[in-house]
Amino acid sequence: MGQLAIVFGGPSPEHDISILTGLLSERVLRDAGHDVVPLYWTRTGDWVQCPPRAEAKDFLQGAPKGSTKLEAVLGSGFQTPKKGLGGGKPVALDAALNCCHGGAGENGGLNAVFDQLGIPLTGGPAPIAALGMDKLAFGAVLQANGIPTLPRVALSDLAPSFDGPYIVKPRFGGSSIGIEVVEDLDTARALAKTSVHLRQGVVLEPFSKGAVDLNLAYSTYPELRTSLLEKPLAPAAAEGIYSYGQKYLQTDGLVAAPRELPAQVPDAVTKEAERLTKAVLDVTGVRGVGRLDFLLIDDVLHVNEVNTIPGSMSLYLWPSSVSAAELLLGAVEEAKAAFGRSEPAPFEPGAALRAAGGMAGKLGQIGQAS
C-alpha cells in the first residue's frame, strides 16, 4: 500500500506560496493522524522528498537539510537515484495532493505528467485545469452558458467594446500577480511590452470602481459543498485590486488577511454565490477543493475567476464544523476514482496503418495541388 504525497513548489512565480500551502496541508493531514510524503518540486524542476514538518525558513536556500532527491520515471512513478549497477528504490505512492500554484503545476501540465507516472493527482484532469488557468477561455465558457461575468478580451490592435479604465491581467497567471489598472489602451499596450508577467498573453476587463470582492470555496466530493462567503478587506489605496502583497506578504499570510467572514451581505447575495458556484462547476467540469472569486457590482453578482488550487487550499473559509483533513482527502479520493477514465479508447487499432500503403505514395501527393 502506497502513501499520499503532498506536492508543492514548482517553476512558477507563485513558488514560495505553493511551499506554504504544501506545508500547511501536510500539517493538517499529519495532525489528523495520516502519514504523508512531502514532495518538493524545485524551481529548477528537480523532485525532492523532504523531511516531515519542515518550516518555511528551511526552504530559503532550496531543499531543506535531510531531503532525498528523487527521479520521476514514466510508467513507474518516483524512485531514489540509481547507485552503481543497482536500480533506484521505488517510492510507493497511491495518490498525490497538488498544492502547486501557477505555471505547469496548476495549468494541467503536472496532471498530464502524473498521469504518465501512474499516480492520481488532484487539481485535474489536465484539460479542465488548463481551462481554469486560461482567463480568456474560462470567461468565454461562462458567457456562452449565460453565467454573469465581466466582458473580457485579449489585448490586441483592436479596441475592446468597453471603455477604460481597464484591468490588465496575465491571461494564464494567478489571481494577483501582474494585475494593474490603467486608464487607456496605450498604457495597457506599453505595460504588456514591459511586464515579465504578461509575456504569455494579456486580457482586459472593464474596471468598476466600488466593486466588492467576494470569495466562496467549494468541495465537490462526495457531493458539492460550499464554504462561508468571504469579503476580503483590502486597503482603500488598493483601488479595488486585492494585491499579491496584501494577500500573502503579511506575518501569517492569507489566513490572517483582513476579511469579513461570513461577508456582511444580504442573504440573497450569498444564495446567488452558491447557485453560481454550482452552475460554474456544472458547465466546466472543475472538481476538487477550490475557490470561486466574485465581483458584486451595482447589486449584481458576477463570476470573476476560478482558483482550482487556491492559497492555503482555502481551508480558512470553512466553518469549524467542517474537517479540513476530510476536505483534502475528499479531493484525493475523487482524483483516484476518476484516474484513467479520461483516457480515450483506441479507435480501430491498426486500421489506418494497414490502409496507408507505402509512404512514397503519400510523399508523391505533396505539391500536386493546382
| Distance of alpha carbon 288 from alpha carbon 299, whole angstroms | 29
**Residue 113 φ then ψ, to 5°:** -65, -45
CA–CA separation, 312 and 137 (whole Å): 25
Task: Return the pLDDT at 349.
Answer: 83
Contact 117, 109 (CB under 8 A): no
Strands (E), the chain: 3-9, 36-41, 47-49, 68-73, 77-79, 90-91, 93-98, 153-154, 166-170, 180-182, 202-206, 212-219, 225-232, 259-260, 289-297, 300-307
**320 Cβ neighbours under 8 A, 6+ residues apart:** none
CB 154 within 8 A of CB 203: yes
Q: Tell me the domains of the chain and their CATH numbers.
A: 3-121 (3.40.50.20), 151-207 (3.30.1490.20)
What torsion, rounded to 10 degrees, do the Cα atoms 83, 84, 85, 89 define? -10
Q: In the prediction, which pLDDT does 234 show? A: 72
Give SS3 for 147: coil
Q: What is the pLDDT of residue 244?
A: 47
What local confidence, expressed as pLDDT, does residue 178 receive?
87
Answer yes or no: are the C-beta atoms of 131 and 306 closer than 8 Å. Answer: no
With cell 466600488, the residue in question is 210
CA atoms lying within 13 Å on the CB side of residue 279: 17
Which of 141, 107, 142 lies closest to 125 in space, CA to CA?
107
What cell numbers appear for 361 in the block?
505514395
The number of residues in the chain equals 370
Residues of the chain with pLDDT under 50: 237, 244, 248, 251
C-alpha cell recorded at residue 168: 490588465
Strand partners, 297: 300
Q: What is the pTM of this model?
A: 0.90
Q: State how far the Cα of 332 lies from the Cα of 334, in Å rounded to an integer.
A: 5
Reading the block at residue 344, the C-alpha cell is 480515450
Question: What pLDDT sits at residue 363?
Answer: 83
Distance CA 358, CA 364 (A): 10
pLDDT at 4: 98
pLDDT in tens, 72-94: 999 999 999 887 777 789 999 99
Q: Look at the alpha carbons of 24, 25, 28, 30 in this order and tell me if their dihedral is positive or negative.
A: negative
Answer whether 120's CB lies under 8 Å from 96's CB: yes
